Structure 1
């Protein structure tokens, strides 16, 4: 599973099973059929629900790399299919960031269903708040209509913005951090991963 730490507003929009997972849907069934991982380096995301141009949008950031995802103009069915929307947005944002076949294959290898919990990091929440302000400025400055966007380009643009992380003296570049993580995972032998 991939842990997702949502804000209260996002949590209230989600329908969850008793173990905190999103229900299996026809579009996400394949994720649930993958073998479980004891340790998943792609796990650990924070999610925030914001309203922009009177539309529900979800912003996500990976905890360790601060890699951003923008899921714009979500409707009620989109929240039910959040696993599918997450995978689509993650893979396409990687493509927009210049990911190659090795990056994408490695990312696919570690994709799992989202599991929701109530843990949160103020540092990552601060990143999400800053992302919201930057994205809102981009919408206004470039006169973009959020209903016409996929969010992939916006995510790639935000990924190329340095982020400060509590406890670190240097800034983090999310695009570089995520691609480096995937390169490192690609080099580690598959049999070293704890797959049950």
Structure 2
């Protein structure tokens, strides 16, 4: 599973089963067939639901690397397919950085269904709040309509900003994620 710690605002909008997962859909059937992992290095994400230009957007950040994903202009069916939207955003945001084939294959190998709860870290929530302000600024400055973008470029743009992590100093999210994927690829 990929653990997603959601804010209460996001958690209340998610159509989850009693065990904190999404129902299997034709788009997500393949990830539910993947073998279980004891430790998944792509796990531990935080998510927040924000409203920008009167549209629901979900911002996600990987705890360890602070790598961001942007899911703009979500509708009710998108929340049902959040597993698929997460996978799509992760893979396409990685492509925006020119991820090599080994990075993409490694990321794909660790994709699993989302397991959602509400145990959030204040440090990561601070990163999510800063991301919201930066994304809002990007939309305003570039005069973008949030309903007309995919979010991949916005995620890549946000990943190029340094993030502070208590006890670790400054991190560059795109370098941290590529480093993590490189380490995982070299193990196999």
- TM-score surpassing 0.5? yes
- 1:13-60 CA deviation, whole Å, 9 max, x = no partner? 111112111111110000000001000000000000000000000000
Count residues in correspondence: 188
1:181 partnered with 2:177: no
Task: Report the counterpart of residue 92 of structure 1 in structure 2.
Answer: 92
Between Structure 1 and Structure 2, the one with more strand by share is 2
What is the CA distance between 1:117 and its match in structure 2? 1.3
- 1:53-78 CA deviation, whole Å, 9 max, x = no partner? 00000000000000000000000000
What TM-score comes out, normalization by structure 1 length? 0.95
The answer for unaligned runs of 5 or more in structure 2 is none
Task: Report the counterpart of residue 154 of structure 2 in structure 1.
Answer: 154
- Root-mean-square deviation over aligned CA pairs: 0.6
The alignment partner of 2:132 has SS state of: helix
Task: Report the counterpart of residue 2 of structure 2 in structure 1.
Answer: 2
What stretches of structure 1 move > 2 A for 4+ residues in a row?
none
The answer for unaligned runs of 5 or more in structure 1 is 190-196
What is the CA distance between 1:102 and its match in structure 2? 0.5
- 1:62-116 CA deviation, whole Å, 9 max, x = no partner? 0000000000000000000000000000000000012110000000000000000
Task: Report the counterpart of residue 194 of structure 1 in structure 2.
Answer: none
What TM-score comes out, normalization by structure 2 length? 0.99
